[in-house]
Structure 1
Amino acid sequence: MFDPLLSAGSMPLLERQAVWGEVRHNVLAGNLANIDTPGFRPRDLDPQAFQEALRQSVHARTPGAASSLTEAPRDPLAGGVPDELLTAVDRPGGDLVFHDGAPRSIEREALALTRNAMQRQAAIQLMGAQMAMLQAAITERA
C-alpha cells in the first residue's frame, strides 16, 4: 500500500546516499584508526563514481528522459547500491609520505570523515522531512 509512495520521488535516492555514506564512513573511520600503522595505505570508496551513478539514476527517473521512444535510460541504482560502488580501493597518495613510503594524513582523513558524515546526515534529514510530510498527509494535518 505504501510502497508506491516510498519508491516515488527522491526517497530511494536519499536512501542509497545514506547506505553508501554509511559504508564509506566505516572505511574512512578505519583509515583514521590505522593512521599510525606502518605500511598502512588509506582506502576509500569512489565518490565520483557514486555521484555519477546518482546522476544517471536521477536522469532515469525523470519523466521524458529517454533518448528515444524505445530506449529507457538505465538506472544504475535500481534495486540498491551495486557492490562495485561499495568496494574500498587504495586511495592515491598525497603530498606527505611517511618513512615507510605510505602516503597518509590525519587531517585529510578527518576532513573526509567529517564531509562524509555531513552528506549522510543531510540525506537522513531530508528523508525524515519527507516522512513527516507523508505522515501529515495521511493523518490530514496541516
Structure 2
Amino acid sequence: MWNGIFTGTSIPLLASVADFTEVRHTVLAGNLANLDTPGYQAMDLPVEDFRAHLRKALAERNTVPFSSPGDRAYYLGARPPDWSSHKRPFVRHDGNDVSVEEQVSEMVKNQMLHNTALTIMASQFRLLLTAISERV
C-alpha cells in the first residue's frame, strides 16, 4: 500500500537525482584532491547518460515499476567503463589535466541540482503529510 503512494509521485525520481549528484560530487571533489598529482586525469560521471536513463525510466514508469537509475551501488563500485575521463583542452607539464575553475563550476552546478531535487522532494513529502493528516 505505502509503496503505491510513493511510486505515484516524483519521489523515486528525485531520490535518484539526489543519489547521482551526491556520488558525482564525490568524484569532482576527488579531482580537486588530485590537483597536484602528476599524471592524474580528471574524471566525471556521464550526466547525459544519467538523464537518458531517467527519461527511459519515466517513459516505462506506467508499465514497469520504477527502479532507481541513481543506484548508489553502481556509482560507488569499481570504476564503471562509462565514467568519462576525456582529454581536457590543456595538460600541464606533469601530465595532470585538472582545471580548478572547471571542477568548481561543475561542483556548483551539481550542488544546485542536488538542492533543487531535495527541495522538491521535501515539498512532495509535505503534500503527502497533508493528505494523510486530512488537514489543509
- TM-score of the superposition, structure 2-length normalised? 0.84
Question: CA separation of 1:16/1:7 partners in 2, compared to 1, >3 Å: closer, same or farther?
Answer: same
Would you say the 8 A contact 1:21–1:117 is kept in 2?
A: yes
Percent identical among aligned pairs is 34
Would you say the 8 A contact 1:20–1:81 is kept in 2?
A: yes
* 1:43-80 CA-partner distances (Å, limit 9, x unpaired): 1111111000001111112x5xxxxxxxx5x78x6255
81, 84, 93: which one aligns with 2:70: 81
Aligned residues: 131
Question: CA separation of 1:130/1:10 partners in 2, compared to 1, >3 Å: closer, same or farther?
Answer: same
Report matched runs for 1:42-121 at 5 Å. 42-61=42-61, 63=62, 78-82=67-71, 86=75, 87=79, 89-121=83-115
Question: CA separation of 1:57/1:102 partners in 2, compared to 1, >3 Å: closer, same or farther?
Answer: same
Gap regions ≥5 residues in structure 2: none
Q: Residue 4 of structure 2 aligns to which amino acid in structure 1?
A: P
Question: CA separation of 1:80/1:95 partners in 2, compared to 1, >3 Å: closer, same or farther?
Answer: closer
- TM-score of the superposition, structure 1-length normalised? 0.81
* Counterpart-to-counterpart distance in 1, 2:3 and 2:9: 12
Gap regions ≥5 residues in structure 1: 64-71
Q: Residue 5 of structure 2 aligns to which amino acid in structure 1?
A: L
Tell me how large the CA RMSD over aligned residues is: 2.3
Structure richer in helix, relative to its length = 2
1:38 Cα deviation from its structure 2 partner: 1.4
Structure-2 residue corresponding to 1:141: 135
Higher relative contact order structure (alpha carbons within 8 Å, sequence separation ≥ 6): 2
Structure-2 residue corresponding to 1:124: 118
